[in-house]
Structure 1
């Protein structure tokens, strides 16, 4: 595999600076956010590279568990940040953070352990080389979809409060009154995943497959791994969104099945 130098990456970073200036001249108001996000990405990936090199060499399940917990916590935090309306804080932790973290833990984490123990079966099953990249890919996609689904549901509930309450007054249950918003939220969350599946292999070569091919892995072996990842991402995303929407629905209604938007605070 051909190695890249830090000078190569520094040269590429100039393109991001120039891109930001071009966008700024064309009225894009989030140029600073683009630059900050790019710098943050570089720092995070370099830190992760150093940390993972140490974790891989240590061969300790405790370190793998620690990395996984940190990844889950940050993914839950990213879901929280993407919400226009957040559930009120319970103690020291935001309700939206708890919803996101539970959804990810019950889907991405469970599916990662399932695939490691029953599909890939490395020895030991928690081998960092497989466990951490696998969890990261599943988490990243699930996090985005859950964030989109939750944001759509809460924003729509605020905007369509009168319609929901009208259905409740007509005798609909909380689940029935919120069903049309749930369908809309599911659609918003799942469309990117469906597009990803439809485009894979024809329009685009997915990241994991590309990385393995660049590293010299046989293309057919890379394809099999990518298909596995796609299936895991799809299942994790769909089930994670469903769990998140169910938890959010519980928070949007009080024990007497009345819509309770006081639970939401605008970010």
Structure 2
């Protein structure tokens, strides 16, 4: 059995310095978001190091309450990121609530399902399986839900005359916004379809690569990766549909009138 080669903090520092130098080159070539690139890189490093320390303690404690706490934090930050990625957000933290609800009803549910029915570790909430699976499913679902809601709200603002014309012709709120919901669903799911098409030929997905690097049997790594990809499809598609349903309803009042003052444009 192969053993995993350790990476030192000095190695990571070397790679981080290359990213810093890359930012300088990008700046000289007219890239306007160099500062954001650096900040995002530093944030990523800090978040992953913090998560590494926290997960090491959680794995050692091996108690369901700490695993539940990690899951709640992950869900909360995912809902927050969904709202931050939108041009227009629903007032009163509506976008955050929609994102959190859709992810809880999909990513959390399918993760628990696969832990209890497919992998069946003992106990079923074993952190070695529960936390990585939830993280991978959440990450992809979060991106898709954010894209779907962003497309829905932007199109509702831009196509307000067309929606109101449909309403004036006697169509219901659901019918008048159906074409926007279809476009939003398409936009949200295209990246997921692209990942599925490229997996195994153009790219080796992250979980499979990580397991192989850690010395796992390639065929076992492949089976786990197929399972994760199917979970992502289930969670992402279901989550987007739930979020779009909630968002579409929020755009209309009880009398089926388009009410865009519920949307707030983010700076």
TM range (shorter): over 0.9
TM-score normalised to structure 2 length: 0.98
Length-normalised TM-score, structure 1:
0.98
| Residues 184-234 of structure 1: CA deviation (Å, up to 9, x unaligned) | 101110000000000000000000000000000000000000000000001
Q: SS of the counterpart of 1:265?
A: strand
In the alignment, what sits opposite 2:72?
A: 69
Aligned partners of 1:18 and 1:101: how far apart in 2?
37
Aligned partners of 1:172 and 1:46: how far apart in 2? 53
List per-residue Cα deviations over 1:5-42 (Å, max 9, x = no partner).
00000000011111111211122111111100000000
Question: CA shift at 1:250, angstroms?
Answer: 1.1
Looking at structure 2, the residues matched to 181 and 234 of structure 1 have their Cα atoms a distance apart, in angstroms, of: 22
Taking the TM superposition and a 5 Å limit, the aligned residue runs for 1:38-49 are 38-49=41-52
Residue correspondence of structure 1 range 97-116 to structure 2 within 5 A = 97-116=96-115
Instruction: Specify the alignment match of 1:217 in structure 2.
Output: 216
Q: Within 5 A, what are the aligned runs for 1:32-181?
A: 32-89=35-92, 94-181=93-180
How far is the alpha carbon of 1:81 from its aligned partner? Answer: 0.4
Aligned length in residues: 263
Which residue is 1:18 aligned to? Answer: 21
Deviation per residue, 1:236-257 (Å, 9 max, x gap): 0000000000000111000000
Over residues 65-94 of structure 1, what are the superposed CA-to-partner deviations in whole Å (9 max), with x where a residue is unaligned?
0000000000000001001000001xxxx1
Secondary structure in 1 matching 2:124: coil
User: Partner residue of 2:243?
Assistant: 244
Structure 1 Cα separation of the partners of residues 152 and 21 of structure 2: 37
Q: For 2:223 and 2:78, how far apart are their aligned partners in 1?
A: 27
CA shift digits 1:122-159 (9 cap, x unpaired)? 00000000000000000000000000000000000000
Alignment gaps of 5+ in structure 1: none
Q: Does 1:235 align with 2:256?
A: no
Aligned to 2:255: 256
Secondary structure, counterpart of 1:36 in structure 2 = helix
Aligned to 1:226: 225
